[in-house]
A and B are shown apart, each in its own frame.
Chain A
Amino acid sequence: GAVVSQHPSRVICKSGTSVKIECRSLDFQATTMFWYRQFPKQSLMLMATSNEGSKATYEQGVEKDKFLINHASLTLSTLTVTSAHPEDSSFYICSARRGRNQPQHFGDGTRLSIL
C-alpha cells in the first residue's frame, strides 16, 4: 500500500505561535506533496503544491509568507503556520503521490486550534 503519515494529529496553541506540521510518505518516494485545508462543513481546499527540491506553488489567496512549505526530501514535506491566529484554526491535510499521473494518498490530517 501507500501510507502517508501526518504529525501531529492535534495541536492547540496560543495566538501568535508558529506551528509546524509534518507529512511523510512511509513506503514510497513522493515527487509531489499537496497541502489542503478544510473548514467545518466546507470542501477540502488546495493550499499549495510542493515538489521536492523546488519552491512550492501556492494557490490564489494563500499567503506564502504565512504558510511556509519545505519539501527537503522525497519522503518529507513540512507546513509551518507562522504567527497563527484563531482564523487559522482548521483541519490541515497533506497528500503525496509518486508521479504525475499517480493517485494522491492522504495523510490522516492535523486539527489545529488557535486560542
Chain B
Amino acid sequence: RKEVEQDPGPFNVPEGATVAFNCTYSNSASQSFFWYRQDCRKEPKLLMSVYSSGNEDGRFTAQLNRASQYISLLIRDSKLSDSATYLCVVSRPPAGGGNKLTFGTGTQLKVEL
C-alpha cells in the first residue's frame, strides 16, 4: 500500500465549478500535511498547509481528519488557471530528526471553458 494515496484523475470541470480532491495516508505518525500544486514539467509549489481545524485560503479549503487519516482539498469557483496537478504531501519525522516529505502521485485537474 502506498504511503499517500490519491485519485489520479483527471478531473475535467467547467469554469466556475466546485471540485474536491481526497487523499489518504497510511502512517499514523505523520505530523504535518500539505497540498502542493505542480504545473506540467515544473517543480511543485506549496498551495497550503492542512490543519485539523480546517483552513481556508480564498477559494481553497483544506480539511484533515486524523482519525480517518484523510485529507481533502476543496476548490470553489474554479478558474482556468487552476488547471494543474494537486499533490497531497505528508510529513513525518524520520530517525535522526527533521521532517521527511512523502508525496502522493497527484490528482490532475483540467478546468475548461
Contact = CB atoms under 8 A, between A and B. Distances in A.
Interface residues of A, number: 22
Interface string B30-49: 00000000000111111000
A100 B43 contact: no
A1 B15 CA distance: 31
Contacts of B87: 43-44
A33 B8 CA distance: 28
A50 to B, nearest CB: 12
Given A46-B100, A103-B46, A91 B41 contact: yes
Interface stretch (B53-61, B73-81, B91-99): B91-99
Nearest to A103: B46
B64 interface: no
B101 interface: yes
Interface in B75-113: 87, 96-106
A44 B96 CA distance: 22
B41 A106 contact: no
B1 to A, nearest CB: 14
Nearest to A106: B43
B100 A32 contact: no
Contact of B99 (A45, A57, A101): A101
Task: Give the 9 A-B CB pairs with smallest separation, nearest first.
Answer: A43-B103, A43-B105, A106-B43, A44-B103, A100-B98, A109-B43, A108-B43, A93-B43, A100-B97
